[in-house]
Amino acid sequence: MVEIGIEPLWLSTGIANLEWGQVLMMGVGGVLIYLAVVRKFEPLLLLPIGFGAILSNIPLAGIGGSDGLLGHIYHVGIETGVFPLLIFMGVGALTDFGALIAMPWTLLLGAAAQFGIFVTLLGALALNFVPGFDFTLADASAIAIIGGADGPTAIFLASRLAPDLLGAIAVAAYSYMALVPIIQPPIMRWLTTETERNVVMQQLRHVTKLEKVMFPFAVLLLCVIFLPSAAPLIGMLTFGNLLRESGVVERLSHAAQNEIINIVTIFLGLAVGSKLSADKFLTLDTLGILALGAFAFCIGTATGLLMGKIMYRVTGGKVNPLIGAAGVSAVPMAARVVNKVGLETNHHNFLLMHAMGPNVAGVIGSAVAAGILLAMVGG
Amino acid sequence: MVEIGIEPLWLSTGIANLEWGQVLMMGVGGVLIYLAVVRKFEPLLLLPIGFGAILSNIPLAGIGGSDGLLGHIYHVGIETGVFPLLIFMGVGALTDFGALIAMPWTLLLGAAAQFGIFVTLLGALALNFVPGFDFTLADASAIAIIGGADGPTAIFLASRLAPDLLGAIAVAAYSYMALVPIIQPPIMRWLTTETERNVVMQQLRHVTKLEKVMFPFAVLLLCVIFLPSAAPLIGMLTFGNLLRESGVVERLSHAAQNEIINIVTIFLGLAVGSKLSADKFLTLDTLGILALGAFAFCIGTATGLLMGKIMYRVTGGKVNPLIGAAGVSAVPMAARVVNKVGLETNHHNFLLMHAMGPNVAGVIGSAVAAGILLAMVGG
Amino acid sequence: MVEIGIEPLWLSTGIANLEWGQVLMMGVGGVLIYLAVVRKFEPLLLLPIGFGAILSNIPLAGIGGSDGLLGHIYHVGIETGVFPLLIFMGVGALTDFGALIAMPWTLLLGAAAQFGIFVTLLGALALNFVPGFDFTLADASAIAIIGGADGPTAIFLASRLAPDLLGAIAVAAYSYMALVPIIQPPIMRWLTTETERNVVMQQLRHVTKLEKVMFPFAVLLLCVIFLPSAAPLIGMLTFGNLLRESGVVERLSHAAQNEIINIVTIFLGLAVGSKLSADKFLTLDTLGILALGAFAFCIGTATGLLMGKIMYRVTGGKVNPLIGAAGVSAVPMAARVVNKVGLETNHHNFLLMHAMGPNVAGVIGSAVAAGILLAMVGG
Amino acid sequence: MPIEDLLLSGVNLMILGMGIVFTFLLVLVFAMKGMSKLALMVSERQGTVEAHSAQAMAAGNQAQTGIRGDLIAVISAAVNQYRSTHH
Amino acid sequence: MPIEDLLLSGVNLMILGMGIVFTFLLVLVFAMKGMSKLALMVSERQGTVEAHSAQAMAAGNQAQTGIRGDLIAVISAAVNQYRSTHH
Amino acid sequence: MPIEDLLLSGVNLMILGMGIVFTFLLVLVFAMKGMSKLALMVSERQGTVEAHSAQAMAAGNQAQTGIRGDLIAVISAAVNQYRSTHH
Ligand code: NA
Ligand code: NA
Ligand code: NA
């Protein structure tokens, strides 16, 4: 007869099988959920990630395993790179590039802010001098992209270059994106002068519908010519944006902005959370990644601001350097921070719209950087 | 040249290939659709199940086969257990556990009602004495869960323990859930006295947002400690509920309550229907399953009521025993039935909110029972 | 150390790898998008198809490859036939067959218009006399279905009979459906007399809810008896329609009409576009397919009109032959065209509702024709 | 196989095919006529029931069609706006 | 295996099963009572904060429940209509 | 490989990388300027057409922005409520 007694019963309980690592990781998941719910840190991603971490660390259940729910979702959506690309399509459908089209030069601010990525790459490699660290060039590249301050880009690149670090990288990326309001302001005040922060920028010119429809093609064209390795990201971003601006496929644009991105966000978050296992996350690497991530954000913010100061000089004081800080992307948080800091010095100086230009430019910039890393390192 | 003539033409028609079993199963599908459309029996599930049964019994088309549409859907969504778990996430996002939080003791009513599951398990095994029946312990467990009066739980467990019986079990589960208004009242009147049914319960206390946010964690924590095998079900239920109560992820909560659960319901129903094939369904087993299912509902209702009577005594007549009948879950039908029967004896006695407590407790109770069966039998 | 220099950098650019075929196919994609956005040609499909063509022809990116995003989507949704069938479910949920139920005889108009399919099949085979063409019976059948003027049917059949031609066939089908307002009117004026076009048809009788609920079953029953090979298409069409008319599953009907069809349309379009590769599309075959497609539409329109004239005679002038042109389906475009041409001759003669009958009959007709081709050729 | 044979198969296919299409849809015509008759009978038999539900339905439609078109337009626009801004 | 043994396993399973179900839900009862106590303490400690958010929430609910039911009905119908026609 | 070499690759990657990022976005700047010029020309050439559609669009926007903000707020709340209750 089937053996049914106290012994197997006890062995089927959680306490009898719970390992310390799992307890700790559930704690980590709990912290992420706390940050999401109470501190409002990127709740759309951190809540599912946190819950996924808890579920996948439940002993015996094997929810994160290859036969478990989250294992299936991870296999279908992240190993293939499908989920981050669909999110990017949604981002494109949700983003109005008008501000950028009105001020093309702000693209350079989005470019400068990517410096944080590459400095971090060096930092990650340098960390190998510290005993216990052994990052490959691929690992370092995946870590560096955290500086791109763009979640889907980071997840996409990590799934390609360093799947083992994906959990830590995703958590770092979204956490720091949420911390932008705390990380950036000091740097902004420190690197800019009162006069610079006071600059009131002229109002943006009107952008025609036609320009908005042509924009995605312009971006995609350059991507095809110079950097095909960035085509999956740039391609889906521009596709989503075309759905939005073409004005003839309202149904599809609505689906990309709502159903698809919402459904995928739930699954992406849970699947990323399933990578938060003790053996992968409770390592020295994770500490290094968290440190490097913060470092990357600071550098990116700084270089964006410096480019802003250059444009301030060149334009004879027409550009407020603060908007350079929005170049790290982290849309729209970074732009809001710029607006806030701007208002501190001048109560009537609303920089939000001007900051949206470099802000969305940063999205393109980090997608380009990701393409370069894929082409040079991923090959 | 390609042979195109009357002969092959005739052989490609349905009548030339139609078997009696298929005709009968299409009839079964038709009956299910009739019950869904005309009698309003759980139409959201029984209509797709019925239509899936018709489609998968069409000769030559092979829609339910491994290369057919329904075969693909079944393989992706039910063999993996993904669909029932996503439905459970939606149920969690749609359920307000406030009534239960206000009356924690009603959990015991949800516990007592699960007695129907285990009695039915014995019944299924005892049926083996009847020649022609040969239920294994796994079969019996899958059949018994019908007493849980919870569709996704039944489908999830059946897909794990007895895939061959899945069709019959799902049909029985949803049919009896729809029959609750007919099955339960007589038992309720028979087991309770006029005075008991007359009890007017005091109004529920206000439940704070914080309590509602903490509740899913409390449930999940116990599940992790005592019964990890129930984690997939309990985990997704609590995740969905957290999406709802956290209040910071409106987009995701809305997706779980609408897009996801609606889409999955269509596919789940069709896929379940594709298991209604003559060789699997037109068997003595099915008759046994239908009989046992009705039996399970009656026992569950009765034990729920008896526990209600105990609480009536213990509390000195503060608890109306009728709400015990809602412990079988079948949300929210059973609670409505309680309200209806209550009003029969006292026109001013609205028990709906008080019945919601044991009602949702029953969902947790049957998920726990399913976990036990998985742990003890599925291993 | 990792080789990172100008040489590999250059080799990783697009220009260094761009082939003429790819450039041309991107051009084709651009044209399709132009037609969709500016000329409003079936934008819901042609925009995603065009963009998919661009993405899948980007060198090195391999987006259309088996490991690329579009490759994955194609493998999951089109190779399996799942996407076109889900679209058909949505079409069923969006279609009101009331006009057809009120005028059952107009089914014959939908039948006559399918003549275009079979004449085109002969045309495709006859094209083999021209050196360079070598269409098999399967190829010819897949091409002929373009005459069905029904996108999902064409994609479904092509994915079964001639995957290599799928891109060209889908593009031809949707392009000509968009061209209906240009293709049909001359033929309509040429084949009908002033008096005939002047016929004012009597108002449609009221159709009861019960009839609308019974209709899908009537269609499905005949499909089961006579033509099971058409069951996947007819089955999902009638299922969607039952969701709509049953009135008890509003949630599911809404999902089929919106979320599901919108999401699937995006993916279907992109995946079809990924088949627009130079080696498959820039061939003599494609030219033949485009020519045959136009031919098919003209024949179908003509035979539909002729059947209309017959019904005009038989009914003693009660039927306006123009509505026969709507038999090619291309819902609802063809019906609108009928209405427009009708108004040209008589400013008070609104034929829209009367044209909807043959219009939806055409959908059933081409699904039946597809079933026949599958049964006779696909075997 | 030689094109002639192919064409022969094609002709075969055309004759059979159109034959089946017409048969199928012709039978469907009669099926629908019978269906409508049946529906009529049924609804007549449960006339009373129908009546009620019919009234109910009518009422329902009232509630819907009762709304003045412009109001719907305004609301639709608002809903659009609401969606585009809140989603 | 022989039916008797099966039944024996069944009985075993029933006893253990109901035991666990009751234990689990009984423990949950106390967990919830503790939880509610904790929630009370927390909300008392940050009373002020609560008060504010509570007011805010109340206001929010106002904004929603403030709308007269019939208006909602009308709008709901319109939304329905809008959806069924525009989608 | 030795860390020194890794770092060397890293420096290489940084120089090339930032070079490409800047080149790419700088070229994009000019592409966008050209694009805007082109757009201007096009719209001027088909001025009349534009005008019409522009008016049409304006009208459309009117219809939308014409709705008083508070009405939208009310309706949005109602829609919310409608959704949360009817779904
Ligand atoms: Na960025
Ligand atoms: Na239950
Ligand atoms: Na057709």
DSSP state of B202: P
Q: Do B4 and D9 touch (CB under 8 A)?
A: yes
Question: Is residue A55 packed enough to be buried (19+ CB in 10 Å), middle (13-18) or exposed (0-12)?
Answer: buried
Which residues of A272-373 form beta strands (DSSP E)? none
Shortest Cα distance, chain B CAs vs residue A22, angstroms: 11
Sign for the CA dihedral angle at A242, A244, A248, A250 comes to positive
The pLDDT score that the predictor gives to residue B241 is 97
Instruction: Read off the pLDDT of residues B241-285 as tens digits, 9 standing for 90 and up.
Output: 999 999 999 999 999 999 999 999 999 999 999 989 888 888 899
- Chain E contacts of B361, Cβ < 8 Å? 25
Closest ligand to the CA of B233: 2
From first CA to last CA, the distance across chain A in angstroms is 57
Reported as a pLDDT band with limits 50, 70 and 90, residue A378 is confident
From first CA to last CA, the distance across chain E in angstroms is 59
Reported as a pLDDT band with limits 50, 70 and 90, residue F47 is low
The alpha-helical segments, DSSP class H, found in chain C are 6-11, 20-37, 43-56, 69-77, 82-94, 98-102, 107-112, 115-126, 137-144, 151-161, 166-191, 194-198, 209-226, 231-246, 250-255, 261-273, 278-281, 284-314, 333-345, 352-373
Distance CA(C335)–CA(C346), nearest Å, equals: 16
Q: Do A15 and B85 touch (CB under 8 A)?
A: no
- What ipTM does the predicted assembly reach? 0.87
Q: Do F86 and E75 touch (CB under 8 A)?
A: no
Select the more confidently predicted residue: C327 or E76. Answer: C327
Shortest Cα distance, chain F CAs vs residue E25, angstroms: 30
- Touching subunits for chain A (3+ Cβ pairs under 8 A): B, C, D, E, F
- Chain D contacts of A254, Cβ < 8 Å? 83, 87
Question: Do D72 and E78 meet the contact criterion of CB atoms below 8 Å apart?
Answer: yes
Instruction: Read off the pLDDT of residues C14-24 as tens digits, 9 standing for 90 and up.
Output: 888 889 999 99
Residue matched to tokens 């490859």: C65
From first CA to last CA, the distance across chain B in angstroms is 57
Select the more confidently predicted residue: F60 or A34. Answer: A34
Closest by Cβ to B82, choosing from A44, A60, A72:
A72
What single-letter amino acid sits at C348?
H
Longest CA pairwise span in chain D (Å)? 68
Shortest Cα distance, chain A CAs vs residue C230, angstroms: 29
Comparing E5-19, E47-61, F37-51, the range with the smallest average pLDDT is E47-61
Give residue C329 CA to ligand 3 midpoint distance, Å. Answer: 4
Interface of A with F in 128-187 (CB under 8 A): 128-129, 137, 140-141
Shortest Cα distance, chain F CAs vs residue C2, angstroms: 6
Closest CA to B312 of B324, B303, B321: B321
Shortest Cα distance, chain F CAs vs residue D71, angstroms: 11
- Chain A contacts of B77, Cβ < 8 Å? none
> Taking 50 as the threshold, does the pLDDT of residue B137 lie above it?
yes
- Chain F contacts of A153, Cβ < 8 Å? none
> Taking 60 as the threshold, does the pLDDT of residue F78 lie above it?
no
The pLDDT score that the predictor gives to residue C279 is 81
Select the more confidently predicted residue: E52 or C246. Answer: C246
> Taking 50 as the threshold, does the pLDDT of residue C269 lie above it?
yes
Cα nearest neighbour of A51 on chain B: B239
> Taking 80 as the threshold, does the pLDDT of residue F69 lie above it?
no
Instruction: Read off the pLDDT of residues B233-247 as tens digits, 9 standing for 90 and up.
Output: 999 999 999 999 999
C82-97: average pLDDT? 96
Question: Do C69 and C63 meet the contact criterion of CB atoms below 8 Å apart?
Answer: yes
In a mutagenesis test of the D interface, which of C136, C157, C207, C208 is the best target, namely the one with the most D β-carbons within 10 Å?
C208
A147-175: average pLDDT? 92
Q: For chain B, what is the mean pLDDT?
A: 92
Closest ligand to the CA of A301: 1
Cis peptide before C332 (omega within 30 of 0): yes
The pLDDT score that the predictor gives to residue E69 is 38
Question: Do B257 and B93 meet the contact criterion of CB atoms below 8 Å apart?
Answer: yes
> Taking 90 as the threshold, does the pLDDT of residue A106 lie above it?
yes
Distance CA(B49)–CA(B36), nearest Å, equals: 10
Chain B touched by C376 (CB under 8 Å): yes
Chain mean position to CA A343:
26
> Taking 60 as the threshold, does the pLDDT of residue F68 lie above it?
no
Give CA angle at A329 (A326, A335), nearest 5°: 40
The pLDDT score that the predictor gives to residue C1 is 47
C314-323: average pLDDT? 94
Closest CA to B297 of B307, B287, B285, B305: B305
Question: Do A33 and A51 meet the contact criterion of CB atoms below 8 Å apart?
Answer: yes
Q: For chain F, what is the mean pLDDT?
A: 68
Closest CA to E43 of B210, B41, B379, A130: B210
Closest ligand to the CA of B114: 2
Closest CA to C14 of C64, C57, C52: C57
The pLDDT score that the predictor gives to residue A329 is 86
Give residue C227 CA to ligand 3 midpoint distance, Å. Answer: 17
pTM of the full predicted structure?
0.90
> Taking 60 as the threshold, does the pLDDT of residue C293 lie above it?
yes
Q: Do A224 and C36 touch (CB under 8 A)?
A: no
C331-355: average pLDDT? 92
Instruction: Read off the pLDDT of residues B53-96 as tens digits, 9 standing for 90 and up.
Output: 999 999 999 999 999 999 999 999 999 999 999 999 999 999 99
The pLDDT score that the predictor gives to residue B4 is 58
Chain A touched by B68 (CB under 8 Å): no
Closest ligand to the CA of A365: 1
Instruction: Read off the pLDDT of residues D25-84 as tens digits, 9 standing for 90 and up.
Output: 999 999 999 999 999 888 888 765 444 444 444 443 333 333 333 344 444 444 444 445
- Touching subunits for chain B (3+ Cβ pairs under 8 A): A, C, D, E, F
Comparing A81-85, B236-240, C278-282, the range with the smallest average pLDDT is C278-282
Instruction: Read off the pLDDT of residues A209-224 as tens digits, 9 standing for 90 and up.
Output: 999 999 999 999 999 9
A28-50: average pLDDT? 94
> Taking 50 as the threshold, does the pLDDT of residue F61 lie above it?
no
What single-letter amino acid sits at B3?
E
The pLDDT score that the predictor gives to residue B348 is 87
E58-80: average pLDDT? 40
Closest CA to C246 of B256, B41, D60, D43: B41
In a mutagenesis test of the C interface, which of E80, E83, E84 is the best target, namely the one with the most C β-carbons within 10 Å?
E84
Instruction: Read off the pLDDT of residues B34-43 as tens digits, 9 standing for 90 and up.
Output: 999 999 888 9
- Chain D contacts of E75, Cβ < 8 Å? 75
> Taking 70 as the threshold, does the pLDDT of residue A2 lie above it?
no
Return the SS3 of C66. coil
Residue matched to tokens 């095994």: B125
Reported as a pLDDT band with limits 50, 70 and 90, residue A348 is confident
Chain C touched by A262 (CB under 8 Å): no
> Taking 50 as the threshold, does the pLDDT of residue C168 lie above it?
yes
> Taking 80 as the threshold, does the pLDDT of residue E52 lie above it?
no
Question: Do C244 and C360 meet the contact criterion of CB atoms below 8 Å apart?
Answer: no
DSSP state of C163: G
Q: Do E74 and D64 touch (CB under 8 A)?
A: no
Shortest Cα distance, chain B CAs vs residue A36, angstroms: 8
Question: Do B251 and B235 meet the contact criterion of CB atoms below 8 Å apart?
Answer: no
Closest CA to A322 of A295, A297, A345, A347: A345
Question: Do B245 and B209 meet the contact criterion of CB atoms below 8 Å apart?
Answer: yes
Chain B touched by A26 (CB under 8 Å): yes
Interface of E with D in 54-73 (CB under 8 A): 73
Longest CA pairwise span in chain C (Å)? 89
Cis peptide before B321 (omega within 30 of 0): no
Question: Do C255 and B263 meet the contact criterion of CB atoms below 8 Å apart?
Answer: yes
A368-377: average pLDDT? 92
Return the SS3 of B67. coil
Return the SS3 of A55. helix
Shortest Cα distance, chain C CAs vs residue E72, angstroms: 19
- Chain D contacts of F67, Cβ < 8 Å? 74, 77-78, 81
The two tokens of residue F9 are: 């690759």
Give residue A353 CA to ligand 2 midpoint distance, Å. Answer: 54
> Taking 50 as the threshold, does the pLDDT of residue C307 lie above it?
yes
Select the more confidently predicted residue: B202 or C240. Answer: C240
Kindly state the percentage of chain C with pLDDT values over 70: 98
Give CA angle at B110 (B107, B111), nearest 5°: 90
Q: Do B9 and D12 touch (CB under 8 A)?
A: no
Reported as a pLDDT band with limits 50, 70 and 90, residue C124 is very high
Shortest Cα distance, chain F CAs vs residue B260, angstroms: 12
Q: Do C4 and F5 touch (CB under 8 A)?
A: no
Question: Do A307 and A107 meet the contact criterion of CB atoms below 8 Å apart?
Answer: no
Instruction: Read off the pLDDT of residues C188-237 as tens digits, 9 standing for 90 and up.
Output: 999 999 999 999 998 889 999 999 999 999 999 999 999 999 999 999 99
What are the CB-based long-range contacts (under 8 Å, 24+) for F10-13?
F10/A121, F10/A122, F10/A125, F10/A137, F10/A140, F11/A122, F12/C4, F12/C5, F13/A118, F13/A121, F13/A137, F13/A141, F13/A372, F13/A373, F13/A376, F13/A377, F13/C4
> Taking 80 as the threshold, does the pLDDT of residue F82 lie above it?
no
Q: Indicate the angle between helix axes B231-246 and B151-161, nearest 10 degrees.
A: 150
Chain E touched by F77 (CB under 8 Å): yes
The pLDDT score that the predictor gives to residue A6 is 72
Chain F touched by C38 (CB under 8 Å): no
DSSP state of A128: G
The pLDDT score that the predictor gives to residue F43 is 82
Kindly state the percentage of chain C with pLDDT values over 90: 78
Interface of B with E in 279-318 (CB under 8 A): none
DSSP state of B228: G
The pLDDT score that the predictor gives to residue A4 is 58
The pLDDT score that the predictor gives to residue C5 is 64
The pLDDT score that the predictor gives to residue F54 is 42
Closest CA to B283 of B26, B12, B58, B24: B24
